[in-house]
Structure 1
Amino acid sequence: MNQQNNVKFYLLQKALKFLLEKRAITQEEFERASRYNAETLHPDREYIRSHS
């Protein structure tokens, strides 16, 4: 299950970064959503560092 969560976290981060680049969300919204995803999905710590 953790591998699936890593993939979900990665895809969500990519989508959030895209939205941030297009200025559809603010930096604060990006950080808040990233924290929420990390707390909800519990990806590996190393995975968070390398993909945030």
Structure 2
Amino acid sequence: MSSSSIASIAKKAPTEAEADFATWLMMAKLGGFDDLPSSAQSFLTNYRTRPL
């Protein structure tokens, strides 16, 4: 893989992750928590219970 391809992927990754997180959070708020994938449920549960 060329360095420009790697850089392009690296730039897109945080944006896609933020979009996924926002989608998961909105689904959970709208009552669709049980419909989320188990990995998303685990992540959101850990996110909610994290120490501030």
TM-score by length of 2: 0.49
User: Which structure would you say has the larger RCO, counting Cα contacts within 8 Å and 6 or more residues apart?
Assistant: 1
State which structure, 1 or 2, has the greater radius of gyration over its C-alpha atoms: 2
